[in-house]
Structure formats: structure tokens, C-alpha cells
Amino acid sequence: MARREFPRKVKAAAIARSAGKCEKCTAALKPGEGEIDHILSDILGGEPVLANAQVLCRVCHAAKSADDLRRTRKADRQRDKASGAIRPAGKLRGPAFPKSSKPPREARQQLAPKLIYASRTTT
């Protein structure tokens, strides 16, 4: 599926809304320096509308893109696992837990039950 870009009107409205500042770190941006970014990335279902657009500086955009890439790869792995495209790794192989030295439950001594409620007698 091809990435959906923002229309010109949406880009212009986002730039006007930001008032020349990065919407994440509030750094002042020179004309043409801001980058329009999807808040929820396109590949994860974000629409190219004004409510999903933000103007970021290059540094904030690079950091957010790296995080989006990580989240996208995780979603891909989960989808592949659920569809059966990737087999589960299987059980961990290693030494088993040591056997307990406690006697079996039946052989243990039973304790007397505790009284939870005792009635008071007045004389």
C-alpha cells in the first residue's frame, strides 16, 4: 500500500496552526524548515487529515520517525505471528527445576482449623 501524503490545503492549515514553531519542542522554525508529520503514522492507520498532522523540526521528526519505525516493525511481527507466517520459537531448552524434598500433601500433618468467629457469653 502506498503512503498517503497530506493534501496542500491540510499542509497549509497545519503550518498556519503551528505559528512558525515546532509543535513538539516549540523551537522557532524558519519558513520552509518545518516538516509535516503524521501523529499516528500512515502505516498504522493514520489518515492524512489536519487532526493527524503536526509540524515538527528536523530533530523531532527524525526521533519520531525512529519510534514509528519501531512500532511498525512490532505491529508487523504481531500480525505475522497471529496469521501463522512465523512459527512460535517453542519451549525453552534447559535444565528442569529440581524436585522438591517436601513430603506429598497427603502425608503432611493437618493443622486444627482456626476459629474465625467466637461468640461471647455474658454472665
In a domain, 39, yes or no: yes
Count structural domains, the chain: 1
In a domain, 76, yes or no: yes
Alpha helices in 1-123 (DSSP H): 8-18, 58-83
Q: In CATH, what number is assigned to the domain containing residue 14?
A: 3.40.1800.10
In a domain, 93, yes or no: no
Domain that holds residue 52: 8-83
The answer, yes or no, to whether residue 11 has pLDDT greater than 60, is yes
Q: Average of pLDDT values for 31-48?
A: 90
In a domain, 62, yes or no: yes
In a domain, 106, yes or no: no
Q: Average of pLDDT values for 89-99?
A: 77
In a domain, 104, yes or no: no
Q: How many CB atoms lie within 10 A of CB 42?
A: 18
In a domain, 119, yes or no: no
As a whole-number percent, the residues of the chain with pLDDT over 90 amount to 48
Q: Average of pLDDT values for 75-84?
A: 89
In a domain, 58, yes or no: yes
- 0.85 cut: is pTM over it? no
- 46-67 in b/e form (b: 16+ CB < 10 A) is bebebebbbbbbeebbeebeee
